[in-house]
């Protein structure tokens, strides 16, 4: 029998089908060390995962890589979850990574994700609750360590951008078990005194464990309850904490927080100058348009012969008034004649008309009209109504 011959693409496609049918490979978690890591300009991650004996190629597309809250690097031990499949073109199998987390953070990372999900469901991260950061705050409160580079960076950036800054520092622990409690105290003090327009919570970069104090539930709720808007500047750009999500604004770094809070003085001057020029130009154009309109009116017939138009309209008004008056008089006479006819008919039917011909009406004391001799008794008083008055009578 002649042996069937397959193309390379047919073989790779068949092998890919075998991989895709295997349920274990569909959603598998693997631990290993990152090597040959490359963050592509498209946003995709390409790297290799290795252990002591083997390696496996990995790709994490932009849609999944966007949710990685740390910066992967060579030598970092991680836990991946994804699907193992075959890349047909090269005939190699690789992991299509869906999630990635640093190994060794197990309990802490799980607690972080659980708290994040809980607060998100309660609405603490919703944009509708975010307070607006004032454009040019008179005074800014900063909650951070009183020593170190962070507070120096904030002061340097703030004063460089705007000459007359007013910073009020509340010293707090930024690492260890006292982070949440000291930051909470700072928020309480600023809100009680109400002596700042915005609060910056700042800390430099660090590991996930170093920043974990900013993943505290009580701190998150205190930030949410603050009447003063809060800017979170914890860690570097790739670091995310619960504090970032619940704050009114997140800054990637402490220096960036100062830039977000304080506008550049030169930019303000430029904006004011540009606005002034726009207002002047707009006002000038408006006045010119009105002047052109007045000139147009002056050049029109209305300006030259206004009395002719007024006289014409007066004659037209007199004519309409005459027509209206004639029509009204005709209608009045018509209704007057009709009214007289109705009055004559009513008068003919009037009981007074009957009395004037010699008749009278007899009424008993209770006002009942006497219609028959059987309606009265001897010695009963009656009242007779005649055309010109009334007479009291006695029945004999």
CATH dotted code for 8-104: 2.40.50.140
Task: Summarize the confidence of residues 372-383 as an average pLDDT.
Answer: 88
DSSP 127: G
- pLDDT band of residue 328 (cuts 50, 70, 90) is confident
pLDDT of 230 reads 95
For residues 2 and 133, the model is more confident at 133
pLDDT tier, 119 (very low <50, low <70, confident <90, very high otherwise): very high
Assess whether pLDDT exceeds 70 at residue 304.
Answer: no
- Enter the tokens of residue 160: 């460089």
Residue recorded with tokens 């009045």: 332
Between CA 219 and CA 234 the distance in angstroms is 13
Q: At 98, list the tokens.
A: 């869906």
3 state SS of 237: coil
Note the pLDDT of residue 307: 67
Q: How do beta strands 55-60 and 92-102 pair?
A: parallel
Both tokens of residue 108? 């802490």
pLDDT of residue 207: 77
Give per-residue pLDDT as tens, 254-282.
999 999 998 888 777 888 888 888 888 88
Are the CB atoms for 253 and 260 separated by under 8 Å? no
Q: Which of 234, 242, 171 is nearest to 205 (CA)?
A: 234
Beta strands 198-203 and 230-234: pairing type? parallel
Q: What is the mean pLDDT of residues 108-113?
A: 76
Question: Does pLDDT of 84 surpass 70?
Answer: yes
Q: Which pLDDT value is given to residue 352?
A: 65
Give residue 91's pLDDT. 79
Q: Is the pLDDT of residue 338 over 90?
A: no
Place of tokens 């800390």: 203
The pLDDT score that the predictor gives to residue 98 is 93
Q: Which residues pair with 34 in a beta bridge?
A: 49
Confidence at residue 59, expressed as pLDDT on a 0 to 100 scale: 94
Q: Name beta bridge partners: 251.
A: none
- pLDDT for res 187: 95
Q: Does domain 110-263 have CATH number 3.50.50.60?
A: no
CA angle 237, 175, 178 (to 5 degrees): 135
What does the block give as tokens for 159? 């004063």
For the segment 221-234, the average pLDDT, to the nearest whole number, is 94
Neighbouring-strand partners of residue 93:
86
Looking at residue 348, its pLDDT comes to 67
Give the mean pLDDT of the chain: 85
Give percent above pLDDT 90 in the chain: 32
> What pLDDT was estimated at residue 53?
87
Tell me the C-alpha distance between 65 and 39, whole Å: 10
pLDDT of residue 288: 87
Average pLDDT of span 97-122 = 81
Cα 355 to Cα 384: distance, rounded to the nearest angstrom:
11
CA separation for the pair 341, 321 (Å, rounded)? 30
* pLDDT of amino acid 188: 95
Which phi and psi (to 5°) does residue 372 adopt? -150, 155
Q: Mean of the pLDDT values across residues 195-199? A: 94
User: Confidence band (pLDDT; 50, 70, 90) for 355?
Assistant: low
Q: How many helices (H) and strands (E) does the chain have?
A: 13, 13
**Please, are residues 235 and 205 in contact by the beta-carbon 8 Å criterion?**
yes
- Among 110, 103, 46, 61, which Cα is nearest to 80's? 103
What residues have CB less than 8 Å from 150, skipping those under 6 apart? 144, 174, 202, 203, 204, 254
Alpha-carbon Rg for the chain, nearest whole angstrom, is 49
Q: Whose CA is closest to 37, among 28, 46, 27?
A: 46
Bridge partner list, 199: 141, 230
CA dihedral 252, 253, 259, 260 (to 10 degrees): 40
* DSSP class per residue in 67-91: T--S---TT-EEEEEEEEEEETTTT
């Amino acid at each position: 029998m002649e042996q069937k011959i397959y193309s390379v693409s047919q073989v790779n496609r068949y092998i890919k089908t075998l991989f895709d049918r295997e349920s274990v490979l569909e959603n598998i978690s693997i631990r290993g060390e990152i090597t040959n890591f490359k963050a592509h300009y498209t946003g995709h991650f390409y790297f290799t995962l290795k252990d002591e004996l083997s390696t496996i190629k990995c790709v994490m597309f932009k849609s999944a890589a966007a949710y990685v809250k740390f910066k992967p690097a060579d030598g970092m031990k991680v836990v991946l979850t994804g699907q193992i499949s075959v890349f047909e073109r090269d005939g190699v199998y690789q992991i299509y990574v869906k999630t990635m987390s640093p190994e060794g953070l197990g309990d802490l990372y799980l607690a972080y994700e659980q708290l994040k999900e809980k607060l998100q469901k309660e609405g603490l991260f919703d944009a509708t609750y975010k307070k607006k950061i004032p454009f040019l705050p008179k005074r800014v409160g900063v909650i951070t360590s009183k020593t170190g580079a962070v507070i120096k960076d904030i002061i340097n950036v703030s004063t460089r951008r705007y000459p007359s800054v007013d910073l009020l520092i509340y010293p707090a622990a930024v690492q260890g078990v006292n982070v949440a409690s000291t930051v909470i105290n700072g928020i309480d003090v600023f809100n009680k005194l109400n002596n700042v327009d915005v609060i910056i919570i700042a800390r430099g970069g660090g590991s996930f464990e170093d920043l974990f104090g900013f993943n505290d539930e009580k701190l998150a709720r205190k930030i949410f309850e603050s009447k003063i808007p809060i800017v979170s500047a914890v860690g570097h750009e790739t670091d995310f904490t619960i504090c970032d999500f619940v704050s009114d604004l997140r800054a990637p770094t402490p220096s960036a927080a100062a830039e977000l809070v304080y506008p550049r003085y030169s930019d303000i001057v430029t904006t004011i100058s540009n606005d002034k020029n726009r207002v002047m130009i707009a006002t000038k154009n408006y006045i010119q348009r009105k002047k052109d309109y007045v000139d147009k009116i002056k050049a029109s017939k209305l300006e030259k012969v206004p009395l002719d138009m007024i006289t014409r309209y007066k004659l037209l008004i007199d004519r309409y008034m005459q027509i209206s008056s004639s029509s009204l008089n005709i209608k009045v006479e018509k209704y007057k004649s009709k009214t007289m006819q109705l009055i004559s008919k009513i008068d003919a039917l009037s009981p007074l008309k009957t009395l004037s011909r010699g008749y009278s009406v007899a009424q008993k004391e209770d006002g009942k009209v006497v219609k028959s001799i059987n309606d009265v008794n001897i010695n009963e008083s009656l009242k007779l109504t005649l055309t010109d008055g009334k007479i009291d009578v006695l029945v004999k």
